């Protein structure tokens, strides 16, 4: 059974975790106030999430659309201590269109010296989908931050004053909780905007680590179970002009294993093979990459732009405005 797990704050200021339905309706899950709490209960009881929801029972109906309009929908996962939530990701994992693949392979064949990015991409194409029980190629990996970097639907994506760009990346993100036994348990998948500084990254690949230290947003719901093999969606940027909003850029994007050079299992293996990422009680949000970004089409975003990402089978889209933070003076004090 697939669940749609949603976190909101009620009009009275109380947290609720909801079980959403395919028709857009949702009901509160009794006895828990967060997805994290629900997952921990399921792990402790040795039950699946849907079995644990059945044990908890369902309460009142909740109008998710109203909660969205009132800014009461939270990111669908968080942790009571933000330092114990890790936001990470992998890149160069998506094949893109057939035309794009053809161009990449021709460029690789023609180049006297392949770039590190091209070599890593081709490693994934060759060995990113190993047979069951075998380990495939390592992907590119990056760190984005802890739970303070994660925002929900409608919240601002804040670009630091020193950033040279603030651009969207429409992706799927895996959501995990580490059990007391040190094993990772996947809750499900969420729609994500893995916001990045592409200009900084473009100047020197060794600055990729800097370019990824930015916030990320998650969509309304976590879908439990396995993600469809073929996910298709649309990424847009809205800009206000003379009092009206217009789409300044729009492009379809694809995800799911049919459109990737790696299996999710291989990407998960290469993240959780480190015991650092298997600390009991921690939460992981791991972004799985994309082949679509407005930066590649020469779009320059600016404050006030709104990123919108939609994709089936998610019932709700993800929208976040862009702002640039004021410059901060940071000084190191000597003790």
Q: Which of 25-29, 42-46, 95-99, 150-154 has the lowest mean pLDDT?
A: 95-99
pLDDT for 97: 47
pLDDT for 111: 62
Residue 40 pLDDT level (bands cut at 50, 70, 90) = very high
**Span 229-234, average pLDDT:** 97
Q: For residue 259, give both structure tokens.
A: 């459109």
Alpha helix segments (H runs only) across 169-286: 198-203, 208-212, 264-272
Q: By the 8 A CB rule, do 290 and 171 touch? A: yes
**Span 75-82, average pLDDT:** 98
Reply yes or no on whether the pLDDT at 101 is more than 90. Answer: no
pLDDT for 106: 63
The mean pLDDT value of the chain amounts to 94
Residue 285 pLDDT level (bands cut at 50, 70, 90) = very high
pLDDT for 57: 98
**Span 73-98, average pLDDT:** 91
pLDDT for 98: 47
pLDDT for 24: 82
Residue 174 pLDDT level (bands cut at 50, 70, 90) = very high
Reply yes or no on whether the pLDDT at 109 is more than 80. Answer: no
User: What is the C-alpha end-to-end distance of the chain, expressed in Å?
Assistant: 56
Longest dimension (CA), the chain: 64
pLDDT for 134: 93
pLDDT for 332: 97
DSSP 264-303: HHHHHHHHHTSGGG--TT-EEEEE---S--GGGGT----T
Distance CA 26, CA 251 (A): 30
CA-wise closest residue to 188 among 172, 203, 209: 172
Reply yes or no on whether the pLDDT at 205 is more than 90. Answer: no
**How wide is the angle at C-alpha 294 spanned by C-alphas 214 and 196, nearest 5°?**
10
Cβ neighbors of 227 (< 8 A, separation 6 or more) are 172, 189, 255, 256, 257, 264
If one compares 309 and 122, the residue with the highest pLDDT of the two is 309
Distance CA 251, CA 247 (A): 11
Residue 307 pLDDT level (bands cut at 50, 70, 90) = very high
């Amino acid at each position: 059974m697939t669940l749609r797990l949603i976190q909101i704050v009620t009009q009275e200021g109380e947290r609720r975790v909801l079980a959403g339905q395919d028709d857009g309706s949702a009901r509160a899950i009794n006895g828990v106030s967060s997805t994290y709490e629900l997952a921990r209960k399921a792990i402790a009881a040795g039950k699946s999430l849907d079995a644990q929801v059945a044990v908890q029972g369902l309460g009142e109906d909740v109008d998710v659309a109203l909660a969205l309009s009132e800014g009461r929908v939270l990111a669908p996962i968080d942790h009571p201590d933000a330092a114990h939530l890790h936001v990470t990701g992998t890149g160069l994992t998506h094949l893109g269109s057939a035309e794009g693949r053809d161009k990449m392979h021709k460029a690789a064949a023609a180049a006297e010296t392949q770039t590190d990015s091209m070599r890593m991409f081709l490693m994934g194409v060759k060995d990113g989908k190993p047979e069951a029980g075998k380990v495939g190629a390592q992907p590119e990996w990056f760190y984005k931050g802890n739970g303070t970097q994660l925002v929900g639907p409608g919240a601002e994506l804040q670009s630091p004053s020193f950033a040279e760009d603030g651009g969207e990346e429409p992706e799927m993100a895996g959501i995990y909780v580490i059990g007391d036994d040190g094993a990772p348990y996947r809750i499900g998948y969420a729609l994500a905007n893995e916001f990045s500084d592409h200009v900084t990254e473009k100047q020197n690949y060794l600055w990729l680590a800097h370019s990824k230290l930015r916030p990320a947003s998650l969509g309304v719901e976590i879908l439990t179970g396995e993600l469809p093999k073929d996910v298709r969606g649309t990424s847009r940027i809205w800009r206000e002009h003379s009092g009206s909003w217009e789409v300044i850029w729009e492009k379809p994007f694809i995800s799911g294993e049919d459109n990737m050079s790696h299996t999710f299992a291989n990407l998960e293996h290469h993240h959780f093979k480190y015991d650092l990422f298997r600390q009991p009680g921690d939460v992981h949000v791991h972004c799985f990459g994309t082949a679509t970004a407005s930066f590649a089409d020469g779009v320059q975003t600016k404050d006030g732009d709104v990123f919108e990402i939609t994709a089936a089978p998610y019932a709700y889209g993800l929208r976040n405005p862009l702002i640039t933070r004021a410059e901060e003076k940071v000084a190191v004090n000597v003790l």
